[in-house]
């Protein structure tokens, strides 16, 4: 795979996550799994020709759990983006 295919995969994941949200499901992309490819491959009995890029949690969000109320600080988009019209 080259750079164009990685962006395709990212767009696929985003589309999947948006469709899941539309269906009432919560998701969490987990690229950290790519740091443990052998462990995951053994667990899921993946063929040696497969490459682990990321995982994704999908399910129903429990909004009563404190961990699900975390909101991280974000810089305003205008602080790092230039819009040209």
Taking the model in full, what pTM does it have? 0.68
Question: Per residue in 59-74, pLDDT tens?
Answer: 999 989 998 888 899 9
Q: 1 falls in which pLDDT band (50, 70, 90)?
A: low
The predicted pLDDT at position 38 comes to 86
Q: CA 13, CA 19: separation in Å to the nearest integer? A: 10
Give the per-residue pLDDT at 51: 83
Q: How far apart are CA 77 and CA 31, in angstroms?
A: 24
SS (H, E, C) the chain: CCHHHHHHHHHHHHHHHHHHHHCCCEEEEEHHHHHCHHHHHHHHCCCCCCCCCCEEEEECCCCCCHHHHCCCCCCCHHHCCCCCC
Q: What is the pLDDT of residues 16-49, one digit of tens each?
A: 999 999 999 999 999 888 888 888 889 889 898 8
pLDDT at 2: 64
């Amino acid at each position: 795979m080259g750079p164009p295919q990685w962006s395709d995969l990212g767009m696929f994941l985003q589309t999947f996550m948006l469709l899941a949200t539309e269906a009432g499901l919560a998701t969490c992309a987990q690229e950290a799994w790519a740091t443990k490819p052998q462990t995951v491959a053994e667990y899921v009995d993946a063929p040696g020709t497969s490459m682990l890029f990321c995982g994704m949690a999908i399910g129903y969000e429990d909004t009563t759990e404190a961990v699900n109320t975390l909101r991280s600080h974000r810089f305003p988009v205008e602080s790092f983006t230039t819009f040209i019209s």
